[in-house]
Every structure is written in structure tokens, then in C-alpha cells.
Structure 1
């Protein structure tokens, strides 16, 4: 059986934000003991999402992945990477 439910766009966006935050919080707590900290340099971020450095560079440019630039080095938030991956999942 299949149901199609149409929800107002505003409700869809709020629901999406809520689900992303909940998943991000859950993933963060699961990964606390992993080798990936809350902030990662570019190489570690590539490992975290499972892509090569050149692919990650293309993703950063194409999708405007948020980063912090300190002393010429790029740092990526685990929370933001989790949100990005969820936003771009199918």
C-alpha cells in the first residue's frame, strides 16, 4: 500500500531541519570516541566522508561546503559535514 501526503513547504523544511539536527546529534554522540574530532583538517574530512582530496575540493566549490580558514588551513565541522551529507542524500 502506498500513500502520498502533501505537506506545506514550510512544514517540510522545519521537519527536515529537525530530523537533520536529531541525526546530527546522534551521530555526534556515536562518534565521540572515534578518530574524527569535532573539527577536521581537509585530509581528515576527506577520510570522514570517504572521498579523495580532489573530489572533496570539487564538492567544496560546487556546494559551498562551510569551512573555517585559519592560518591558511581549512577546517571542517563534523556537524556541518553530517548536515551536508544528509542534505545531499537520495
Structure 2
């Protein structure tokens, strides 16, 4: 990877650092809040959360061991368990 060295004014550097910190804070807040998704998601919400079809989520549940819970006859997926489930597949690559 090529290295790029630049000389920035102190004020510009501080302003840039502030912008980057603000952007990172926003991203981390969204991650902590689940980007507006509830802690326990319906199958449809889960599909939207990971940007796949509902039938893909159904296959993950039936054939790939995606953990679910049943609440009043409705299937729910705990967001943090889904994130952990997906990270297993990402780390296997």
C-alpha cells in the first residue's frame, strides 16, 4: 500500500479530527441502538435487517440453525444472537 504524507494546518487537522470523531460516534450509536431495529425482531424485520429475503431467513432457521424464540405463536429472532450467528459465517472465510 502506498503511503501519502501531507502537511495540514493545525486548525484544519483539528477540524478534520472533530468531523471524523463525530461520524464515528454516529456510527457507533447506530450500532448500539441496532439502527432502529427492536431487540426481538419478527422474521420480516430480520430479513430487512440483513437485507435478504424472508425465504432466506426461513431457510436459515430450518436448515442452518438460526436461533429463534416463540412468543405467543410468533417467531422472533434476538438481534444480538443474529449478529453473533452471522459473525460465525464471516469469520470462517
TM over 0.5: yes
**TM-score in terms of structure 2 length:** 0.60
With a CA cutoff of 8 Å and minimum separation of 6, indicate the structure with the bigger relative contact order: 1
Pick the structure with more helix per residue: 2
Q: Which runs of 5+ in 2 are unaligned?
A: 1-27
Matches of 2:61 and 2:80, distance apart in 1: 15
Q: How far off is 1:77 after superposition? A: 0.6
How big is the alpha-carbon RMSD for the aligned residues of Structure 1 and Structure 2?
Answer: 2.1
Matches of 1:28 and 1:56, distance apart in 2: 26
Q: 1:47 — aligned with what?
A: 48
Bigger radius of gyration among the two: 2
- Counterpart of 1:61 in 2: which secondary structure? helix
**TM-score in terms of structure 1 length:** 0.62
